[in-house]
Amino acid sequence: MSNSVNKSGEAIYNQLFSKVAELIDFARKKVATTVNLTMVHTYFDIGRMIVEDEQQGKERAEYGKSVLKELSKQLIEKFGKGFSVDNLERMKNFYLIYSNQISAKVLRKFEDTESQSNTNTLTAFTPITELQTPRFLISWSHYLILMRIENPNERSFYEIECVANNWSLKDLKRQYHSSLYERLALSRNKDDVMKLANEGHTLVRPEDILKNPLSLEFLGLEEKVAYSESDMEHAILSKLQQFILELGKGFLFEARQKRFTFDEKHYFVDMVFYNRLLQCFVLIDLKTQELLHKDLGQMQMYVNYYDRNVKLENEKPTIGILMCKKKNDALVELTLPKDANIYASEYSLYLPDKQLLQQKLAEWLLEFENLDVD
């Protein structure tokens, strides 16, 4: 920069540069997003054209196979790689899966957002085709993962969460492989399971934050007979971002080993969070051993202290969560009053068995259906 520019002028220039650079970065991201979404709509229409063309063939299976092979060859010659037979099959499946379901639940959830903000490229995007093509909100790579999910309710849930939380592809894979849908569903009643498919993971009541089990495989701790609570706490805090993602929506970290004192005695809460959606403090204590009656009583004391001495009048009652190796529902129910905001949640140091959770969820829903019939 010229020597004639004084410090004041340099500060003004730096501010101008920052604003221009920010605008260019935003524009580039917007262009990239628009290009990605244009390709998703294009692939949907290619799938539709393939299906409609196959339906005109006399021997559909053989006809479709030979046509896709020839179509792939010519498209690659004209446009380059990306149009292999396998990819054309994926586009066809994309159309078959989404032509009826087609993100209707997702669009209903986010259609109001479009009217509120014209800067949101995900919801304001309009397809270049004049065909009656539904809108899509996430990348093709995301849909390649979603298409593998057979349960339409589960697929809809993950699609909603991708849009609502701006999940990266890595985030989607992790949440799917950690069985987020099943873990949330098993913590709810039948009606609330359907809400997961229609609305995603919403926080209205304190119990909505619960997942069983919490999956802490990202900590990298080995599964062994015993390890200290301080070791586990240290591992969580070293990967706090991943832990907050696993906890759910709206969590803000406030403190570790939060001390409060009364009757000249000091007490420590392992971790204190604040949930801005529920507008309340969330206290978490780690228990690597069997959950005991005294643990519940201690957490009740912590919650009472926060409710009476820390929370503001406009805030909701404090929530207490005991993260334990193995929870005991009967012990929790007998020890605590029915209106207590205290919950026990199991944790797992490895990814849960997805097939087992799916089986448990199917059996659980079947029990509800039988009760309805009776």
328 and 239 belong to one structural domain? yes
Judge whether 239 lies within some domain. yes
128 and 221 belong to one structural domain? no
Assess whether pLDDT exceeds 50 at residue 57: yes
Judge whether 155 lies within some domain. no
Judge whether 51 lies within some domain. yes
Judge whether 47 lies within some domain. yes
Judge whether 209 lies within some domain. no
341 and 224 belong to one structural domain? yes
Determine the Cα–Cα distance for residues 128 and 143; give it in Å rounded to an integer.
19
Q: How confident is the model at residue 125 (pLDDT cuts 50, 70, 90)?
A: very low
218 and 323 belong to one structural domain? yes
Domain that residue 240 falls in: 214-351
Judge whether 371 lies within some domain. no
**Contact residues for 294 (Cβ-Cβ < 8 A; gap 6+):** none
DSSP characters over 26-74: HHHHHHHHHHHHHHHHHHHHHHHHHHHHHTT-SSHHHHHHHHHHHHHHH
Q: What is the pLDDT of residues 197-245, one digit of tens each?
A: 888 888 888 888 888 788 888 888 776 656 678 888 888 989 998 999 8
Q: Is this prediction's pTM over 0.75?
A: no
133 and 246 belong to one structural domain? no
Judge whether 235 lies within some domain. yes
125 and 245 belong to one structural domain? no
Judge whether 328 lies within some domain. yes
Name the domain count of the chain: 2
336 and 218 belong to one structural domain? yes
CATH number at residue 284: 3.40.1350.10
